[in-house]
Structure 1
Amino acid sequence: MNLSSCIWRWIIILLNFSLQRSPLRPVVCLSYRQLGYLTVEPVFLIDSMRKTVFLIGSNLTVTCHVHICEKRSKIILDLNNEAVKDWKEVNCSTAIFNLTNVRMPQSYMLCKLKNRHVTRIVSGLDLHGGLPPHKPRNVTCETTRASAFIDCSWKSGAKTYLSTTYNVSVYRGNRTQVHLNQTQEAEEITIPRRIVDGNTKYQLIITAYNHFGASQSDPFMLCEKDIVIPDTPHILHIEFENSSTAAVLKWNTSDYSVTLRSYIRLLTDSGSWEARETTELSEGLMRVDDLRPLTEYEFQIRTCNSTSGLTTSSKRPSCSRWSSSVMGRSPGKGPSQELHVWRTFSSQLMVIVLWKPPHPDDYSGVVQEYKIFFDQKEAATSPATSSQRSVMIPAEVQALSVSAVTSYGSTPAADVPLTHSGVSGPVLRELAPAANGSAVLVSWSWPGNKHWSTSGGELRHYVVEWISVPVTQLQWNKLDKDQNSTSITGLTAGVRYNISVYAVTTGGVSAPSSSLVYSKEQRPVSGPILLVLVHESRRILIQWDKLPVDQRRGFVINYTLYVQSLDSNHTTLRVVVSGSGPRQMWLDCPDGTLALQLTASTSAGEGPGGSQIVSQPAAPVAGLVIVVVFIITLFIAITANLMCWSCVRERIKHRCLSWGPAWLVENLPKPENSNAIRLLEQDRGERFLFSSDSDPLLSPISLISWEERDDVRVSPLSEHFSNFIDEL
């Protein structure tokens, strides 16, 4: 064994080991393998293509032969990495596999020899499927007046997965004389014009061939005068007009005819050709409308003897070929529509001007700023991000103008009327909330038709305003004068909105017609604050405040008062009060201490209760105490006035001394032991005896006046008491 044989043996062993661990797709020719070979029937070997081909959809029989018989081994076949299950073993060295209805154009087979320990590759084979050619169709031929050739083309039909050749034959009359017999692979052919006569009809037949058969087209009647088409035109120049939505094309052709019409198609970034109507300005000059700004266009033009050229896929002989493409980019588009503008007043001379940005389809580029004018003078400017501006204006100014400045021009000035027309606003109909709770349908009526006019002027348009309560940012829309309804969207359920409609006329702005509405009512989020003004026995006077608007979340249709007695029986009273009535009422109630709570209800239901309050009636003793205190106060007042009289004061003084205790006056005698009493008794003839506790001896009695009696000294305590009485 030479060196080269050893090297090849080791290469085969390594490849075999590698394929056992990770099977790879085999190459077309595996002749170097020595374990065996594969055969397939029915197949065809195409030497020029170096392929083994079969007819798609046929049944194939594959035989795997192994050179060395190994009884403990098994022959298996994989088709596209899947094991073939329909097989039978002929002997230890041969197995037959059946493949049914093979549809895949490209397949590969791998025969393997498998034993307990190892799997080895025997051989592999690539299969190529194909189909017979279909009949060529859509045969067309055309030439120009000055051309020396006739160009013919056709469509091949369905894919065959095999190389197909075409034989082109031209017959005169009954096919007795062949003028052309040419074979090629392309689906078009150029025929010399000299082989046909101008007024003679010929038959053109296309025959397609491949390994599985042939197919012939229907005869095409070839007559020179019928296949002559106009010369191909040329685009000389493209110019975009001031508006970027139109382009003017200048073109010419060597074949001028009064019957010719020109057609244009253009290609944009969408990748498809689009036919366009044109306006012929003059001979060789046409305009294309409805272009998009800042867009790259590719233009082509052709001429036709009829209107058939409108179809871009049409290649009828009556139309020329499409010209060479000419590129052009449309410029930016300046805005052409007025802004929607409105205003509101913050003071007598301060106006808040409102506007909406221009529609994106009306201009190209970006908005740079907004300008506000009055009396043809610029009053203020605002950045592109703003939508309103406060402007101080003189009292005599009756209108403002607003314009948006873009990269490619400014919008026409839009007038903002500041005067009032003096007429009432449109008549609002019932506002209808949408079912989804985020929109409200607003409709109105305006006297007469769109041509109706009054002293307020002719109707120009309407403006609808809406703002949530509590107040947030004002929102508005401008509507055409022929419109009498609109849908306000983007509203929030449970939020109250004030909607107003204005009529803008040539005489100014009408008064608003306004109404409050909820897009969807919800239950209140809290209860009203309740106060008890008077609580009597079995009767109570209560008062409550309105709920804040943001807590109502709907129109309050009624209030419900819950009164619970806190005595032993705990009876509960429920009273429903209309939401539109007074918020103060007398209520008959049980006696004793009461717990009261109030709720509010909307069309969506009853809300939670407010803070509970406890009240009890005033105690009866309180009135008696008041009366007693009043009487005592009155008595003290009268007494104080009486003490101002001296005679009365003296009598009170002596009365008090006589009522005082014994120690008030020094050595006051006891009446029963008085000597005067005894003398009186002596006069009656009775004898008396002096005792140890008798009065002292009588001193001479002298008469004194009342004035002198005032100077009689008494004991210090009596004097202090007397002074006290004097002060009273």
Structure 2
Amino acid sequence: MISTWMLVIVMLVGSSNGASSGNDTQPCARINTSSLVVPLGSRVTATCVIREDCPLGQDVHIEWRLVDELILSSPAANGSNRVSTIVVPSFNRTSAELTCRIKPSSQVLAGVVIQAGYPPEIPQNLSCQTNLTDSTLNCRWDPGQRVTHLPTKYTLYTEIRDLNTNNTYELPPDIHHHSIPRTDFGLFTDMMIYVKAENDLGEASSAHIVLEPVCAAKFDQPSIVQIDVDPKKLGCLKLTWTLSPHQEWLSNYPVNLEVRYKTAGSDQWSDPPIPVINVKSSKVVVKPCHLLHGTQYLAQIRVRCKQSPWSEWSSSKSRVTLETAPTGRLDSWVKVSRNHTSKNSNIQLFWKPSKQFRGNGQNLTYVVSQQKLDGERGRICSTSEKCCAFQLSWRTRKVYLRAVNRAGKSPPTEIRIYKTKDYTPNMDVTAVPLDDRSFLVQWTAVVTSSLTGYVVEWKPLLKTGLCHTHFEIVNKSQSSLLITGSFEPYKPYGISVYPRFRDGIGPPQTVNAYLRQKAPSAVPKLEIKKTWGSYIEIFWDELPLEQRNGFIKGYKVFYREENGPIKVVSADAENRRVILKDLNSASLIESFMMVSTFGGSLNGSTIHFEIKPVDSVTVVILVTAGGVGLAFLIIFIVLTCLSKTTTLKRRFYPVVPDPANSSIKKWSSESTQFIHPSWDNNEPNPIYLSHLSFLDLTTKLSKEEDDIWSNSLEETSDLGDSISGSLFTPTYSGSNSEVVPYATVLCSSSSNGPTPDEHPVYLRSESTQPLLETEESFSPKCYQNVATNGMPRHDCFFGPSDEDVPGGKKDPALIWDDFPFLHALAMNEMEND
């Protein structure tokens, strides 16, 4: 049924021309329309009629307006200018005012408000839920997706057939829910419920539902009383449960139950849960089975009655199933490096359960052994972790890994020890984060016939424990892997890809990756390294890894002089130094650093410094001090050289004897002290005597002549000739040869030192001059050396000394006969005296 709402606006043209009946004023015009509420977008027809007795005159012209929009009218069928009709082909406004007016003054004669919308949709998703606490039945529904733009009222109908009772609940417009009181329904009696929607354009009713109010209730959270193991069945548990204390009066009423479980430490519950239908909490024990042996499980339950909403999940209870020995094999990964200090190899062994492995028990331990048979002998390590580091002989080729629990041990997993190969392929490894839990690792495939697969390894760089390493083994046809785990944002991870060959493992290629990045947690401290002129070199230390929060993209140093513009100098992540240029001296400079990652930037604190000016006085002082110091150094070197002239000459030039000043009688410390000066005054000067030579001696030796040794030296060219021509030279006849080698005297004693312990040494001369002839064979005897310090020295060079001859001293004549050299020396000394 469509109600007509009409708003008529009557405008009197003039109070004098209006018709009145008592105190009532009648309108001059009215608007007739088919309906004031129409479907949105439908056709609308309207007619404006002016009363004949309305004093507007004969020449009247009517115009139409929809709100402020002018609408053309069609002429009236009877040709009267007091009647006008319009047609709106599509009324697309939800509400608008239509008026007729007089031209040209646009004075309003009459008007109506037209509304448009849609009829109501069929209510959807009607549901009713019983609240057992306040004993009400709460129903709600969905009015539909389309908006009607018209006021729509809803009416809720209930019918209890067993009691022949009907109830109707009319609701205000646009209300989509209602609570039925406890007096209008029974908990254990079925009832039918539906809802009807109605507006000016139509009505619609929802589907009928039939429910039992007790089964329309959402039960409170149940609880698990106890979990036990089934001693007769491996992998089974027994659950005893109950309803909440407020609903224990329903314990004998059958309900539906669901059980879900998960292993300890897992985040995923079993899906779908295990359903249990029509059970009573006071009698039925739930037995979930097909569980892993020796594994700790957590269980939860929830309940509902027929199609009522599920209750909330109960709190968790845990229990361990019966244990059995571990089964299946373990996946392993071995890293080998050579120990250069011994003939052993460093081994790092990692493992994890394969898809077939079952621990079947709690407190698993893992044993690594060199022997396949079980036993203490050959055991390398035993640990509850999933890694182990040890050393093996480089000859060892395999080890064995077992999992152990209280019920037994798993079969051994054979692990081959492969050597590291030098072959390093270029794999171009990249790691890109996909979401909050995973990285996509990609690499270039290795093209070689000996390739058997790859090992992808990852570990957190801020954790140093060996067992934080994770790995995945992939076949050789793969070139990418999605790795998942409990990755932390803003923390660095090292991801490596190892190629595996038939005879070894290749070196890895490693990249660092962040799941997410942000600005660093700190900024390095700026330090001044060097200052010169108008330049300052600033450096800083590398930011610790735990404070970076991402890859360092670069550094920027902002600085400005007092009241000057801000300048910026940049540095990359590797070069941690910048130079500030063109600075004015004696001005205060402020600076700070900004360090950036690919996730953000952070500014450091501001530092202040200044460049001290260097004035002309300071420059003159520095230059003068440097010049004076250099002059003193040069003078010191020159004086040192002058004071050590003789020493330097003996260092750099050889000592050449002067034949003109030599005399055989001057064999003393005074004659050799200058020739061979001592470098240390505390040590005695050595006397060097070389090549003893005798010059020509004439028959008469005159004191007026020059030194006979010097003259003879100039005139004599050969030592042998001088001696053979001498007056005091006795003849020598050797039975073996006409030439006899001479002797050379070497003396190293000092004139000022004590008498040396060693005797002078005579070396055989290379001369071939004949010696004096004598009937006796040459047998040199002892002779008296030159006096030293006023005391004669007695050394036996060629035979026994005087003290060795029986009867005292030997006849001096024998000395001269046996030693012609000494004879010549004696004669020369006598002449000089």
Higher RCO, 1 or 2 (CA under 8 Å, sep at least 6)?
A: 1
TM-score range for the pair, normalised by the shorter chain length = 0.3 to 0.5
Give the TM-score normalised by structure 2: 0.35
> Where is the strand percentage greater, Structure 1 or Structure 2?
1
